[in-house]
Homo-oligomer: A and B are copies of this chain.
Amino acid sequence: MAKLTLAIDAMGGDRGPSIVVAALIRALQSFPDVEFILTGDEPRLQALFKREGKNLKAPERARVHFRHTSQIVQMDDKPSQCLRHKTDSSMRVAIDLVADGEAHGVVSAGNTGALMAIAYLRLKALPGVLRPALVAAIPNEQGGQSFLLDLGANPGCDSDSLFQFGVMGSVLAQELHDIPTPRVALLNMGTEDIKGPDVVKQAAVLLGQSSHVAYQGFIEGSDLFSGHADVMVCDGFTGNIALKSCEGMARMVYDHFKRSLKSHWLSRALVWFLYRRQRKAWSWLNPDQYNGASLIGLRGVVVKSHGNASANAFFSAIEHAIAEAASDLPARIHDRVEQVLSEQHT
């Protein structure tokens, strides 16, 4: 594969392949040099693509390939059973394409646990990487982005893994977001040295000693959006709880706002006015542009889209995967981990 090729699991997610195909059409127009392989129910995908893509030019259409699969990983399937019994699922085949060198990366909106398990089995961790990590960008109050990891690939972590997450997160922020010296912080229950579990305190020592990370110290949950750090590190249990708690808070405020304004025509008019006026100021908070969590530390690019992503959001996930594949993020992470390991051994 000379050209950059992306495998896309077209059957994952709650909203089905029509979302994926709509995002793909946008991607074909935005990335003229990228090839795409869609895995899934080929007749259905072909029909969808023919109908939705009729305005595409012939060279754009020619960059799409299909790989028929007979199975689908359901959202509530157990990862262990997917590994054994769903070897012809759209998700598995998409990952296999990366493992077999036919694609540089994969995007899926399917079952997160299954995706992590299959990717780990088929792509393997990079040499020296203890555990892959799930990382996502979140908006910060400075108008930029910060990266939070791990978001759930590793429920519990030792301090060496947390240290490596800081290293891998730094490489991601440098390579993909042009932050020359990403500030790395550990998520903790206080900013004082004595606070928190031993494993977090030990990770602080490792990060502080390394010349490969610009370690800033501890931050608290209240600083998640402050932009005080570019890379924020915690174990997968903590990261999952933190991010989902914020989602819950945001949804509650939004729903309540919407509901409480319905009562009065003037309220509704005001909201319309505010929306038009504020749209631009709030666009940096648009969840669509933050869709796409990357599983890093593996020998290949793996991007997880939110299960109920819109076509725009799924397109963001495709963009992430292309950026990671184009900069060969796995090789960059491999290089840095090797440097870190050689520093530790001297």
Contacts and interface: CB of A to CB of B under 8 A. Distances in A.
Interface of A: 76, 78, 113, 141, 152, 155-156, 187, 189-190, 192, 194-197, 220-226, 234, 236-238, 240-253, 255-256, 260-261, 264, 266-267, 270, 273-274, 277-278, 281-282, 285
**Which of A223, A247, A250, A252 has the most chain B CB within a 10 Å cutoff?**
A252
Contacts of A248: 221-226, 246
Given A78-B192, A155-B196, A226-B252, 4 more contacts: A189-B237, A222-B248, A222-B251, A225-B249
Given A247-B222, A267-B274, A253 B252 contact: no
A contacts with B: majority SS: helix
Number of copies: 2
Given A242-B245, A274-B267, A76 B192 contact: yes
Contacts of A261: 274, 278
Contacts of A113: 190, 195
A197 B155 contact: yes
A25 to B, nearest CB: 31
Contact of A285 (B76, B194, B224, B256): B256
B256 A187 contact: no
B189 A155 contact: yes
Contacts of A246: 221, 245-246, 248-249
A189 B239 CA distance: 9
Contacts of A155: 189, 196-197
Contact of A221 (B78, B245, B252, B285): B245
A218 to B, nearest CB: 11
A250 to B, nearest CB: 6
A194 B225 contact: no
A187 B113 CA distance: 18
